[in-house]
Structure 1
Amino acid sequence: MILVDSLECCPSAMLRGSVERREPTVLLRLHGEVDLDTADHLSHLLDLAGRGRPQRVVVDLAGVGFLGAAGLRPLAAYAYRLARGDCRLDVTNARPVVREVLRIGGIPTAHA
């Protein structure tokens, strides 16, 4: 079940996302660029994904062509919050250039 498509809440954002619940997992698919201009929107989408206290949140980055340092902060903060609530964050399908930024930022990725 798709809970939200970011076009409904932030139609002009350069970062789009959809949140889909597949009990006990929530899947957040992102498309676009994650940078200083879109980091707050990423935080908003992550907050939507975490509603209802899922056991696992998967962030699919297959559609993300650029991840700047500003995008690391919301991902790291979200991973910390989820871990405190006994929930796991998996970041998947990152392109090599995005995966390298995540590696430098200390955010592990899974290959799906």
Structure 2
Amino acid sequence: MGYLSTDEPITVRLEEPLPGTALLRVAGEVDMLSSPTLRDNIAAALGGARRRLIIDLEGVEFLGTSGLAALVEGRTSAAERNTELWLVCSRRQVLRPLRIAGLIDLFHLADTLPDALTSTNRDSETD
């Protein structure tokens, strides 16, 4: 189902591990030059009728402010479509910029992909 973006310094692969769930596997450096690639891939993943988007950032070596902005925009777009957005991130290279920017609480976070696949949005369960 997916495709591979070969633009340096980022690669993004779109998969569908479960029906209604899109998975973006991101690797490399998400900076000013590569963040448009991330932004475009998030928009494409949100284009279908999916209930959940998981962005796997375990392969990210650097996450700059423009990458953070792309993630925040993705979160906003996902919320508008009533799609859960999860970030898979356990590495300092991703968690530290999220914390410093005060964005950590905006996202559903999982340490591993299996955790994200089996997690539920607790906020929606209480509605």
Question: What interval of TM-score do these two structures reach, taking the shorter chain for normalisation?
Answer: 0.7 to 0.9
Match of 2:110 in 1: 110
- The structure with higher relative contact order (CA 8 Å, sep 6+) is 1
> Which structure 2 segments of 5+ residues have no match?
113-127
Q: Which has the larger radius of gyration?
A: 2
Match for residue 53 of structure 1 among 49, 54, 58: 49
Give the TM-score normalised by the residue count of structure 1: 0.86
Report Cα offsets for 1:78-109 as digits up to 9, x if no partner.
10111111101100034113111122331433
1:55-74 correspondence to structure 2 within 5 Å: 55-74=51-70
1:99 aligns with 2:98: no
Residue 29, structure 1, aligned to residue 25, structure 2:
yes
Give the deviation of 1:42 after TM superposition: 0.8
Please, which moves more after superposition, 81-90 or 46-55? Answer: 46-55
Aligned to 2:118: none
Cα distance, 1:40 vs. partner?
A: 0.7
Q: What secondary structure sits across from 1:3 in the alignment?
A: coil
Provide the rounded CA distance (Å) in 2 between the counterparts of 1:103 and 1:88.
Answer: 21
May I ask how many residue pairs the two structures share in their alignment?
107
Task: Name the aligned partner's letter for residue 23 of structure 2.
Answer: L
Does residue 19 (structure 1) correspond to residue 14 (structure 2)? The answer is: yes
Higher strand share: 1
Q: Which amino acid aligns with 2:70?
A: P
Deviation at 1:110, TM superposition (A): 2.0
Identity of aligned residues (%): 31
